[in-house]
Chains A and B, each alone.
Chain A
Amino acid sequence: AQSVTQPDIHITVSEGASLELRCNYSYGATPYLFWYVQSPGQGLQLLLKYFSGDTLVQGIKGFEAEFKRSQSSFNLRKPSVHWSDAAEYFCAVAPKAAGNKLTFGGGTRVLVKP
Chain B
Amino acid sequence: KAGVTQTPRYLIKTRGQQVTLSCSPISGHRSVSWYQQTPGQGLQFLFEYFSETQRNKGNFPGRFSGRQFSNSRSEMNVSTLELGDSALYLCASSFGQGMNGYTFGSGTRLTVV
The interface of chain A, by Cβ under 8 A from chain B, is: 32, 34, 36, 41-46, 49, 51, 90, 92, 94, 96, 98-107
Residues 13-66 (chain B) with a chain A CB within 8 angstroms: 31, 33, 35, 42-45, 48, 50, 55-56, 58
Number of interface residues of B (CB under 8 A): 28
Min CB distance, A27 to chain B, in Å? 15
Q: How far is the CB of B77 from chain A (nearest CB, A)?
A: 20
B residues apposed to A, CB below 8 Å: 4, 6, 31, 33, 35, 42-45, 48, 50, 55-56, 58, 90, 92, 94, 97-99, 101-107, 109
A-side contacts of B44, CB under 8 Å = 104
Known: A42-B106, A43-B106, A94-B98. A102 touches B90 (CB 8 A): no
Question: With the chains together, A105 CA to B55 CA distance in Å?
Answer: 22
The answer to whether B42 and A44 have CB atoms under 8 Å apart is no
Beyond the given A94-B102, A99-B48, please list 16 additional residue pairs across the A-B interface where CB-CB is below 8 A.
A36-B104, A41-B109, A43-B4, A43-B107, A44-B92, A92-B43, A94-B98, A99-B55, A100-B31, A100-B48, A100-B55, A100-B102, A101-B33, A104-B35, A104-B43, A106-B42
Q: Which residue of A lies closest to B93 (CB)?
A: A100
Chain A residues lying within 8 Å of B90, measured Cβ to Cβ, are 43-44
Residues of B contacting A: mostly = strand
Contacts of B99 in A (CB 8 A): 32, 49, 51
Taken together as a complex, chains A and B put the C-alpha atoms of A9 and B45 apart, in Å, by 21
Given the known interface contacts A100-B31, A101-B33, the answer about A46 and B101 at a Cβ–Cβ threshold of 8 Å is yes
Residues of B within 8 A of A44 (CB): 90, 92, 104
- CB pair B98 A32 closer than 8 Å: yes
A102 and B103 contact, CB distance less than 8 A: no
Residue of B nearest to A52 (CB): B99
Specify which of A46, A90, A101, A105 is in contact with B45 (CB 8 Å cutoff): A101
